Amino acid sequence: MTTKETMGLTTAEARKRQEQYGKNELTAEKKESFFFKTIHIICEPMFLLLIVAAVIYFVLGEPRDGAVMLIFVIGIISIDVIQEWKTDQTLNALKELSAPHVTVRRDGKEITIASVDLVPGDLMLIAEGVKIPADGEVIKANDLCVDESSLTGEAEGVWKVTVENAEAASDYWRRDYCYAGTLVTQGNATILVEKIGAATEYGKIGANVAAVVDSPTPLQKQTDSLVKLCAGIAAVLFLLVSTFTYFNVLNQPFNDRIIESILSGITLAMAMIPEEFPVILMVFLSMGAWRLAKNNSLVRKLPAVETLGAVSVLCVDKTGTITMNQMTVQETWAWQGDEENLCEIMGLGCETDAYDPMEKAMLRYCEEHGVKKTHLFGGDLITEYAFTNELKMMGHVWHHDGEIIVAAKGSPERLLTICDFGENERAAIEAKITEMSKQGLRVIAVGEMRPQTEAEIPTTITEAKLTFLGLIGLADPPRESVKDDIKNCLKAGVRVVMITGDNGITASSIAKQIGMPNSDHIITGDELSNMSDEVLREKVKDVSIFSRVIPEHKMRIVKAFKDNGEVVAMTGDGVNDAPALKSADIGIAMGKRGSEVSREAADLILMDDNFSTIIDTIKDGRRIYDNIRKAVGYVFTIHIPIAFSSLLAPLLGIAPASLFLLPLHVVLLELIIDPTCSIVLERQPAEHDIMERKPRDTQESILTATTLAKSVIQGLVIFASSFGLYYVFLRQGNPALARTMGLVVIMLANLVLVQVNSSNTDFAFQSFKRLIKDKVMWFINIGTIVGIIVILYTPINGFLKLYPLTVEQLLLAIGIAILSVIWYEFVKFINWQRNKSRHETTIKKPE
């Protein structure tokens, strides 16, 4: 190998090649230009209405009104464009974080780069679990086995060889070559990249690299239809109000009558279309995902954010997620009393550069007991029997101190089947296994064989006839926080299901330690294989521990729970876990020890592999959903006074010029509503009882009857207050003053409403206090107040057809605004009292 090959490309060279060959992607990602994005937003029905209204003003010969209107419209469009730009940024940043990466050698150093930045000539290092990102020659290989079924349809793994060792090419698919889109199932290798992107074989067949498709989330679909429904109602009311207004202004010339009636219709339609909903969703979901990412859980698919809150069953791997994955050898039991030989064979059975925490622990134990690595691995490794999930054992064959030694270790059930001993001895061994397992130890059996000649070496481990040497008991303590987490899950109605490759007794012991209910009900992998789907469905209703499971079983477990109507989250780290991760409602991959393939199949990547993080994520999922619901309710509430005013004015025969809200004012209100809710409500912390509720029913609509009723009542009260005040002042003969009074009431009521509706249980001042240090919230609140002062007391008031209020009038408006919303605090108070007394009676009962 030339030095260039071992050093890899230089950074400068790599950059040059990227310019020449482009990025390693199948289709360049299309970016919607800023211009098209803006056009997109303008084409929303809401903005079309606004623009029509502005045009009408110009036609009416009131360019001043038209201009003011346009300025507002530009304001709203800017807010939307900024919000969309920000969500785009957030989502792209998230995508980048979770995009596939690959290790390459550049400038003589091993570095990790995004797979899209790979260029021809790169030396990439691949290992088990990696999805190969480009085509290239095998330069160096170590037991490399690749699953090429995505290209060839051949399920059997292909063992790769290096270019030097390759026989003359006989097949189209080369054995000394790796192809993009295929999976490394075993071993590791160095590949000299030759083709990238569309030039690869994978690219040629036009396969789609499992790109994350941004389809709308269920909630987005739900709200889309809600918006459509509202738009439909708006269209009908538009016709009604326009007709009504037309007959209301009989004294005016025909043209004016037409225009006046269209304007009132538009005002109403604007008030009726909840165009904020899609924006709210996008902002809440993407900001939610962003906050989760900061908390070590990386969302790969946006719908996961909303599904999270509905999770009712959480299936987790024991090792590494529930436990710390810090193994130590706690007990050894030598069958014939020869501790030293047991220790040495156990060491010989480990990988020379062990990465498995269990093997690391074993080698550490050897060192501590005087069996040095230099001695252990001083000989020649003749062959190895690889570990597979099905076999659950493995072995190495060494030329050691002039002897041939087969050193094997694995799960006792399996290893004992290839060991030689009598029936009486079996009973003693099994008793010891049970005893060790009951302490929560992982038990590993060790066996050896000393063939005389190389010809006697068994070809597979199952053909070996071993001498049983003894047992190793490894401890992997549960993470400290898990016990509390399990308790919280029970309260939150989330069932925790433990899945492990360990034996049932060990699993059950750990389950007991962490306080899992039903810890002695277990289904083993073998039982599962012989069970029909129907039986399994019944069983999973109370069994929460699955032992000796292979990844293929996970799929069936997920399905059984889903068939029972549960929303399932499932963790996985191996290549074989990918199908189960895909079929779970929330597939969770491990950021640290997970394979690339499992990450690609997952909805969520757990950066710290920690069980507690999953619980925090579920909690945050519930919070986000809660806040979306609050925001939707809020938007409904605040639109009611606007819609009703526009509806009622023509009925009361109010002259168009003296109307409460002209299109101008509706736009002005929109300008406040949008940011207020998407910022203040988005930031709301979780309610106290959020993890004491049952998981949400996924069938339930975002706008429940209760939310709707609450919104309507709140909205009607604000309407009555603002419109009432307007109407009283209108009688005094100054429409601008009357309008200003009403408008100030709505604007201030809006501020208070956000605080009141921030929480269903906490009082407004508590919610306020929680965010008291939040600069953004102050910015919004003070901004609105300054805004009111500016539109009232500067010459702008003329443009807006408003009138400066006297101090008394202003105080009156403030008082009414507060009263119109604050009453809801009493409802909360009464609920709180009721809950408290209910709580007390339940506590008193046992006496």
User: Of ligand ADP, Mg ion, none, which one sits near residue 392, judging by CB under 5 to 8 A according to partner kind?
Assistant: ligand ADP
Q: Does 621 bind ligand ADP (CB under 6 A)?
A: no
CB of 409 to ligand ADP, least distance (A): 5
Report the residue closest to ligand ADP, judged by CB.
Answer: 501
Q: 359, 600, 626, 670: which one contacts ligand ADP (CB under 6 A)?
A: 359
Q: Which is nearer to ligand ADP, 444 or 669 (CB)?
A: 444
Residue 333: CB minimum distance to ligand ADP, A: 15
With CB under 5 to 8 Å by kind, the binding choice for 410 among Mg ion, ligand ADP, none is: ligand ADP
Distance of CA 92 to CAs 31, 97, 209, 570, Å? Answer: 11, 9, 18, 25
Residue 85: CB atoms within 10 Å: 12
Q: Which of 404, 361, 360, 358 is nearest to 381 (CA)?
A: 404
Counting contacts by CB under 6 A, is residue 394 touching ligand ADP?
A: yes
| Cβ atoms < 10 Å from Cβ of 210 | 15
- Rounded to a whole number of angstroms, the minimum distance from the CB of residue 347 to ligand ADP is 12
Asked if 442 is part of the footprint of ligand ADP (rule: CB under 6 A), the reply reads: yes
Q: Which does 301 bind (CB under 5 to 8 A by kind): ligand ADP, Mg ion, none?
A: none
* Residue of 186, 321, 411, 524 that binds ligand ADP (CB under 6 A): 411
Question: Which among 239-247, 420-428, 494-502, 719-727 is the span making contact with ligand ADP, rule CB under 6 A?
Answer: 494-502
**For ligand ADP, which is the closer residue by CB, 188 or 389?**
389
Closest CA to 393 of 310, 484, 501: 501
Shortest reach from residue 445's CB to ligand ADP, in Å: 8
Distance, CA of 570 to CA of 558 (rounded, Å): 8
Q: With helix as H, strand as E and coil as C, how does 505-571 read?
A: HHHHHHHHHCCCCCCCCEEEHHHHHCCCHHHHHHHCCCCCEEECCCHHHHHHHHHHHHHCCCCEEEE
- 356 counts as binding ligand ADP under rule CB under 6 A: yes
d(CA 377, CA 366): 12
Give least dist CB 502 to Mg ion, A. Answer: 9
Which listed option, ligand ADP, Mg ion, none, makes contact with residue 505 (CB within 5 to 8 Å by class)? none
Which tokens hold the place of 160? 């790769």
The residue among 410 and 663 lying less far from ligand ADP, judged by its C-beta, is 410
Residues whose CB falls within 8 Å of the CB of residue 678, separated by 6 or more in sequence, listed in order: 83, 276, 279, 280, 283, 284, 631
Among 500, 519, 637, 740, binds ligand ADP (CB under 6 A): 500
Cβ atoms of 547 and 437 within 8 Å: the answer is: no
The verdict on 409 binding ligand ADP (CB under 6 A) reads: yes
Q: Which stretch binds ligand ADP (CB under 6 A): 388-396, 450-458, 552-560, 671-679?
A: 388-396
Buried-state track 744-777, b at ≥16 Cβ within 10 A, e below 16? bbbbbbbbbbbbbbbbbebbbeebbebbeeeeeb
In angstroms, the CA 160 to CA 147 distance is: 11
Q: Which of 754, 746, 751 is nearest to 641 (CA)?
A: 746
Among 120, 410, 594, 656, binds ligand ADP (CB under 6 A): 410
Distance CA 707, CA 636 (A): 10
Q: For residue 351, with 0-12 CB atoms within 10 Å meaning exposed, 13-18 middle and 19 or more buried, which class applies?
A: middle
Rounded CA-CA distance 825/765 in Å is 10
Instruction: Using the minimum distance from each CB to Mg ion, give the nearer residue, 191 or 394.
Output: 394
Among 25, 260, 317, 674, binds ligand ADP (CB under 6 A): 317
**Do residues 448 and 466 lie in contact, with contact meaning Cβ atoms separated by under 8 Å?**
yes
Minimum CB distance to ligand ADP smaller for 214 or for 463: 463
Q: Which does 312 bind (CB under 5 to 8 A by kind): Mg ion, ligand ADP, none?
A: none
Give the C-alpha separation, 501 to 561, whole Å.
Answer: 20
Give the separation between CA 734 and CA 603, rounded to whole angstroms.
60
Q: Which 295-354 positions form the footprint of Mg ion (CB under 5 A)?
A: 319
Cβ of residue 198: shortest distance to ligand ADP, in angstroms? 38
Answer whether 190's CB lies under 8 Å from 125's CB. yes
State which of residues 17, 131, 195, 392 lies at the interface with ligand ADP (CB under 6 A). 392
In the complex, least distance from residue 45 CB atom to Mg ion, rounded to whole angstroms:
55
385: closest CA among 420, 357, 414? 414
97, 298 contact by CB (below 8 A): yes
- Between residues 319 and 321, which has the closer beta carbon with respect to Mg ion? 319
Q: Name the minimum Å distance from CB 551 to ligand ADP.
A: 8
Which of the choices ligand ADP, Mg ion, none does residue 599 contact, using the CB cut-off of 5 to 8 A by kind?
A: none
- Among 101, 318, 599, 696, the residue binding ligand ADP under the rule CB under 6 A is 318
Question: What are the residues facing 419 on neighbouring strands?
Answer: 466
Q: Is residue 471 part of the contact set for ligand ADP (CB under 6 A)? A: no
- Answer for which of 126, 138, 393, 446 binds ligand ADP (CB under 6 A) is 393
Size of the site for ligand ADP (CB under 6 A): 19
500 binds, among Mg ion, ligand ADP, none (CB under 5 to 8 A by kind): ligand ADP
Q: Which residues bind ligand ADP (CB under 6 A)?
A: 317-319, 356, 358-359, 387, 389, 392-394, 409-411, 442, 444, 500-502
Q: Which residues bind Mg ion (CB under 5 A)?
A: 319
